[in-house]
Amino acid sequence: MERKPIRLTTTSYAVMSLLELCDGATPYELKQMLEQSIQNFWPVPHTTFYEEPARLAAAGYLSADQEQTGRRRKRYSLTDAGRDALRAWANAPGSPPSQYRDEAMLKVFAGADPQAAFRGRIDWHRTKLAELEGYLAGLKEGWDGLRTDQWRGPEATVHGGIAYHRAMVETFERLLPGDQPETSSPSG
Give contact residues for a copy of itself (rule: CB under 8 A).
10, 13-14, 17, 20, 37-38, 40-43, 86, 89-91, 93-112, 114, 116-117, 120-121, 124, 133, 136, 140, 152-157, 159-160, 163-164, 166-168, 170-171, 174-175, 179-181, 183, 185
Paired residues of 66 in beta bridges: 74
- Give the residues lining the site for DNA (CB under 7 A): 6-7, 9-12, 26-28, 43-48, 50-52, 55, 69-74, 96
| Coil vs helix vs strand at 2 | coil
Residue 50 contact partner, candidates DNA, a copy of itself, none, CB within 5 to 8 A by sort of partner: DNA
φ/ψ of residue 152, rounded to 5: -40, -70
* Residue nearer to DNA on the CB measure, 30 or 158: 30
CB 11 within 8 A of CB 48: yes
Residue 82 contact partner, candidates a copy of itself, DNA, none, CB within 5 to 8 A by sort of partner: none
- For the bound state, the minimum distance from the C-beta of residue 32 to a copy of itself, rounded and expressed in Å, comes to 16
Q: 53: burial class by Cβ within 10 Å (0-12, 13-18, 19+)?
A: buried
Compute the distance between CA of residue 163 and CA of residue 17 in angstroms, rounded to an integer: 22
* Residue nearer to DNA on the CB measure, 11 or 36: 11
- For the bound state, the minimum distance from the C-beta of residue 177 to DNA, rounded and expressed in Å, comes to 32
- For the bound state, the minimum distance from the C-beta of residue 171 to a copy of itself, rounded and expressed in Å, comes to 4
Q: Would you give the distance in Å from CA 95 to the centre of its chain? A: 16
* Residue nearer to a copy of itself on the CB measure, 13 or 50: 13
Compute the distance between CA of residue 117 and CA of residue 131 in angstroms, rounded to an integer: 22
Q: Would you give the distance in Å from CA 183 to the centre of its chain? A: 37
- For the bound state, the minimum distance from the C-beta of residue 71 to a copy of itself, rounded and expressed in Å, comes to 28
- For the bound state, the minimum distance from the C-beta of residue 30 to DNA, rounded and expressed in Å, comes to 9
Compute the distance between CA of residue 126 and CA of residue 61 in angstroms, rounded to an integer: 38
Which amino acid, one-letter code, is at 152? Answer: R
φ/ψ of residue 39, rounded to 5: -45, -35
